[in-house]
Amino acid sequence: MKFKTKMLPFARGYAESEGRSLDYRIASGMLCSARDARLSIDVNRFFPAYTPESVCGYAFGSGIYYNGGAIDELIAAHPEDAEELKTLRSIISKVSTGSLIDAARTDEERLASGMHACWGGGWGGHANPDYDMILHLGTDGLRGKIEKYRAVNPGRDEFYDACRLSLDALDILGDRFSQLAAETAETLEGERREWFFSISEALKKVPRRPAYDFLSACVFFWLSFCCNGIDSPGRFDQFMIDYWRATPEEEAYDILSKLWVEFHCTRTWNLCLSGSDENWNDDTNELTYAVLKLAAEKLWETPNITLRVHRNTPEMLWKAAADTLATGIGMPSIYNDEIVCPALEGLGIPPCDSHLYCMNGCNQIDIMGKSHMGLEDGEVCFLKCLEYALLDGWCSVSELQRSLRTGDAANFTSFEQVMDAYNRQIRYITDIALSMSWKSQQVYAEHAPNPFRSCVIQGCIERGIDYKNGGPLYGHGQILIEGLADTADSLAAVKKVVFEDKAFTMGELVAALRANFVGYEELHRALVACPKFGNGDEYVDSIAAEIFKSFSEYLLTRHTFRGGIYGSGLSTFNRAAAYGSCVGAMPNGRRRGDSLMADSISAVPGNDVNGPTAVARSCISYDQTLAKSGFIMQIKLDKKLISDDTGKAALIELCKTYLFNGGQNITINVLDQEELLDAMKNPEAHRDLIVRVGGYSAHFISLSKGLQENILARTGYAL
C-alpha cells in the first residue's frame, strides 16, 4: 500500500509497512516522520528541537495517538488527498493506544476511580535512557550492538530491524537539522551565526559517531532527548563529565547555559546530581557544582533538580545546595543513598546497579539506563478507603455505594474491627488499581512497542525483547499513596475518643460523619483535640508507620506485567487538593469536600505545631526502606531564616539530622508568607514567585486556588 499524499507521515509509514510486525510498523512510522515532518529552528533558542506532529504519531509515554478532529480539518482543506487521508485515519484509529486502555477497564474499576479512591495505568511512564552508552557509541556503534545480539537471539529479526529503523530516523533528523542550521546561520550575524554553524558542523558527525566535546555531546544528547519525548535527563553530571572536561571551562559553561534555556522552555523533568558508587565513593564532580550555580543564577522552576547525598558527600556540596535552595526555587530536592539503595536492593537489584539510581518525572526512582520502573503505575487514597470502612462502602460526596461492604461501623465494638474494615477496603481498592495497572502495561506491551527506547535501555537488545514487554533489566512498579497523615490522624482519633476515652460511641461517630458534624459540635471538638501526626507523638506516629508498612508489604507480593514487583511511594504532585475535595467528613475533624490534605509524608498542613525536629521525628517513624519510589517529606522555611551563612548552616544540619536518621528525601520550600498572601490577591505582581508543589516546582500564580491554599497552610518553621 503506497500513498501519494505527503501529510500524516507517521500514519503513512505505519500503513505502508502492512504485513510486518507491529514494532517494525511503528519504527517505519517514525522513519517516515523523520524524513517528511516539517522542521524549523527558532533563532531565539540555541538547540534544534524535534517535536513530533500533533495530528498523528507515536508518543514515547502513551503510544500511538491521533487527533480525529485535526484530520477532518486536513480532509476539508485538501480535497485532492481526502480519500487517502480518510484511509489513513481509519487505519490509525484502530490502533490508538489510549482507546485500547480505556476499553479494557471494567465498571468496577471506573466506579472505584471515579471519586479518587484510586487510579491505575493509563500512560507509559517516564524513562532514563543510557545516555552514557548513546554518546560513547553513536548510532553506528548501536547498530553494531544490534547485529551482535541478532546472532545470539535467532528469530527476532523483526525486533532488530525495527530498532535499526528507529536509529535511521535519528540519523535522518540529524542530517536535516545540520542542513537547516547551516541555512539558518546564513541569515544571521555575529555570535548567533557562528553558533548555528557550529551546530551544523557537530551534526555532520553526531549522532552516527560518538560525541567528542561538550558541544557535540549536548547536540547529540538534545536530539536523542527530544526523540525520546523530552523526559528526564537523569544523572546528567555523570554521563556528561568526560565531554565537559574536554572543553575549556568558560566555553563549556556557556554551552550549559544555552542548554538550560532548552530545558526551561520544554519543561524538562528530572535532572539528578551526584551520588555514590557501590563502595560509597562520592560521585560529585565539577559539572555538579556548575549545574547548581547555573540554577541559582537563572532562578527558573525547571528543570526539576534532585541531589543525591550519602555518608561521604563533601561539605562543599552541602553548602552549594544550601545556596541554591536559599534562592527560593525549591531545588534541589535531596535524596539519601543510605535509604534508597537498600530499598532498591530489597527488590533484588544488586548494589552495582542500585547506586545508579536517579529520579525521573517528579520524583519516581529509576535505574539509569537499565529499567522501566521510573513511573507511577497507580495511586491509592488511604483517606477515601477509611471513609468507605466507616460508611460500609458508601461515598458521602457522591451519595452512592462505591466500594466493598465491610459492615456497619456503628456496630463495631473494638478498634481492631475498625482496622479490619479499613484493611479490607485498602486491599480491595489496591487490587483494583493493580488490575488497571496490569491491563495498561499489557496493552502497551502488545500494542505500543517502543523500538527507540529498546535501543537505549540495557537488556532490550541483549534479550531481543521490547522495552514495553519486559526487555529492560528491571521492570518493577510503583503505586503511590494519598492522605497518609490524614488517615493516621483519623484512626488515632477513633481509637482515643471511642475506644479508650469512651467519650462517644461508634454509632454517634458514624452519624456525625454522615451529618458532616452538623449537630455534633462537641464530638467534633473532641476529635480535633486528638494527637496529630507531625508532632513527634508516638500515639499517632505508630499508627501511621503501621498502615504504611502493611500497604508496602502487600505490594511486594504483587507482580507487574513487565516482570517485576510493586513498591510504594508518596508523591502528591498537585493532586492533594483534588483528592481532598472528594472525601467526606472524617474523624480527624475535616469536613466534607475540604480540599486540605497532607501533601507529603509529613503532617496535614497546620497540624504540626512543635517545629521541624518534631516533624522529622514523626516522619522517621516510617521504615522508609519500604518505599521503592519517592517518599517525600516537604517543609516550608521563611526566606529570612536562611538568608545568611548561619541560617544555611542550620538548614544543612536539619537535612543531615533527618536523612541520616532514616529519611529518604527532604524537599525545602523557601517562602515568604506575606508574599504568598499578596500573590493570591495581586497575581500579576508576583509572576516570578516559585513554590515547591510536590515533586516539582512551579509558579505560584499558575496553580489552582485549592492548591495555593494548601501550600499557604503548610506550617513555616524557625530553625
Weakest mean pLDDT among 316-320, 466-470, 682-686: 682-686
Query: Strand runs (DSSP E) across 554-696, as ranges?
Result: 566-570, 627-638, 665-671, 690-692
Q: Following DSSP, what letter does each residue of 252-315 receive, concatenated?
A: HHHHHHHHHHHHHHTT--EEEEE-B-TT--B---HHHHHHHHHHHHH--S-SEEEEEE-TT--H
Sorting pLDDT into bands at 50, 70 and 90, what band is 374?
confident
Q: Which residues pair with 271 in a beta bridge?
A: 234, 305
Provide the pLDDT for residue 368: 97
Report whether 601 contacts 501 (CB < 8 A): no
What confidence score (pLDDT) does residue 359 get? Answer: 94
* Arithmetic mean of pLDDT, 417-435: 97
Q: Can you tell me the mean pLDDT for 213-235?
A: 96
Asked if residue 27 belongs to a domain, the reply is yes
C-alpha cell at 114: 471515579
CA distances from 284 to 161, 241, 327 (A): 39, 10, 22
Q: Determine, yes or no, domain membership for 700.
A: no
Where residue 663 falls among pLDDT bands split at 50, 70, 90?
very high
- Closest by Cα among 699, 669, 696, 697 to 685: 699
For residue 645, give the nearest of 315, 270, 402 by alpha carbon.
315
Tell me what the mean pLDDT of segment 383-406 comes to.
Answer: 96
Confidence of residue 410 (pLDDT cuts 50, 70, 90): very high
Residue 133 DSSP SS3: helix
pLDDT at 576: 81
Q: Extract the runs of DSSP E, i.e. beta strands, from 464-611.
A: 477-482, 566-570
At residue 695, the pLDDT reads: 63
pLDDT at 457 over 70: yes
Q: What is the pLDDT of residue 713?
A: 64
Label the pairing between strands 333-336 and 566-570: unpaired
Is 80 part of any domain? Answer: yes
Q: What is the pLDDT of residue 709?
A: 73
- Give the pLDDT band of residue 85 (cuts 50, 70, 90): very high
Q: Looking at residue 572, what is its pLDDT?
A: 67
- Spatial contact of 9 and 37, defined as CB atoms under 8 Å apart: yes
pLDDT per residue as tens digits for the range 530-562: 999 999 999 999 999 999 999 999 999 999 999
Grid coordinates representing 98 are 489510549
Q: Which of 49-63, 288-302, 666-680 has the highest mean pLDDT?
A: 288-302
Kindly tell me if the per-residue pLDDT of 223 is higher than 90. yes
Q: How confident is the model at residue 637 (pLDDT cuts 50, 70, 90)?
A: confident
Question: Which pLDDT score, from 0 to 100, does residue 361 have?
Answer: 87
Q: Would you place residue 345 in the very low, low, confident or very high pLDDT band (cuts 50, 70, 90)?
A: very high
pLDDT at 614 over 60: yes
On the question of pLDDT at 689 being above 80, the answer is no
Confidence class for position 44, pLDDT limits 50, 70, 90: very high
Q: What is the pTM of this model?
A: 0.94
Query: In this structure, is residue 28 part of a structural domain?
Result: yes
CA distances from 470 to 47, 161, 259, 457, 554 (A): 34, 19, 33, 11, 22
Q: What is the pLDDT of residue 62?
A: 77
Alpha helices in 117-156 (DSSP H): 131-152
pLDDT range class, residue 688, cuts 50, 70, 90: low
In a domain, 38, yes or no: yes
Residue 696 has pLDDT above 70, yes or no: no
Q: What is the pLDDT of residue 676?
A: 74
Q: 513 - beta bridge partners?
A: none
pLDDT in tens, 93-124: 999 888 888 889 998 898 888 778 999 998 88
pLDDT tens by residue, 562-581: 999 999 999 866 678 888 99
Mean pLDDT of the chain: 93
Beta strand extents in 377-496 (DSSP E only)? 378-381, 394-395, 400-401, 477-482
Q: How far apart are CA 667 and CA 303, in angstroms?
A: 15
Task: Output the 3-class SS for 78-104.
Answer: CHHHHHHHHHHHHHHHCCCHHHHHHHC
d(CA 86, CA 76): 11
pLDDT at 566: 97
Residue 213 has pLDDT above 80, yes or no: yes
**Left (φ > 0), alpha (ψ -120 to 50) or beta: where does 372 sit?**
beta
The Cα–Cα gap between 137 and 129 comes to 14
Stretch 190-200: mean pLDDT, rounded? 97
Q: Give me the pLDDT at residue 578, please.
A: 84
What pLDDT is stored for residue 710 in this prediction?
67
The domain tally of the chain equals 1
Q: Report CA torsion sign: 286, 288, 289, 294.
A: positive
Q: What is the DSSP letter of 614?
A: H
Q: What is residue 677's predicted lDDT score, i.e. its pLDDT? A: 77
Instruction: Provide the domain limits for residue 87.
Output: 9-120
Peptide bond into 129 cis (omega under 30): no
Q: What is the pLDDT of residue 116?
A: 86
pLDDT digits (tens, 9 = 90+) for 197-211: 999 999 999 999 999
pLDDT at site 716: 59
Confidence at 718, pLDDT banded by 50, 70, 90: low
**pLDDT of res. 339:** 98
Q: Which residues pair with 371 in a beta bridge?
A: 474
The total of other beta-carbon atoms located within 10 Å of residue 219's CB is 29
